[in-house]
Amino acid sequence: MNATRFLPLNPREFLVLLSLVDEEQYGYGIVRTVEEQSEGAVLLDPANLYRILKRLMRDGLVDDVDTREAEETDNERRRYYRLTRLGREVVAAEARRLEGLTKVARAKKLLAGRQRKLT
């Protein structure tokens, strides 16, 4: 499946996928990571997060994890999520797309000086 068919991503979807690049996470962990990645500019409430996760799972970009290696330290009620191979391709394709747009903005001197927070 072609990753570019999912582009452009909604910024919140992009941040959720980015939060899963390095490790599997459960809902609250994703919320915290998104908040950190966006420097507090994007706050996800649980209803929005689970709507996003449901859509990403339907599209085959994210999977829930049946078992975890460190199960003895996990709360069994937590549901963990991970990127699928397609999800990793999509988040990388979106990063490249945004990088290209950023290059144009830099060439037009729109990004001179200190960078602003995400909105």
DSSP string over 3-56: GGGGPSPPHHHHHHHHHTSSS-EEHHHHHHHHHHHTTTS----HHHHHHHHHHH
Q: Provide the residue ranges of all domains of the chain, joining segments of one domain with +.
A: 9-107
**What fold does the segment set 9-107 form as a domain?**
Arc Repressor Mutant, subunit A (1.10.10)
Rounded to an integer, what distance in angstroms lies between the CA atom of residue 20 and that of residue 42?
16
Q: pLDDT tens-digit profile of 48-107?
A: 999 999 999 999 999 999 765 555 555 667 899 999 999 999 999 999 999 999 999 999
Asked whether the beta carbons of 30 and 16 are under 8 A apart, the reply is yes
Q: pLDDT tens-digit profile of 10-60?
A: 999 999 999 999 999 999 999 999 999 999 999 999 999 999 999 999 999
Q: Amino acid identity of 11?
A: P
pLDDT of residue 118: 58
- Total residue length of the chain: 119
92: left (phi over 0), alpha (psi -120 to 50) or beta: alpha
Structure-token match 């966006």, residue found: 38
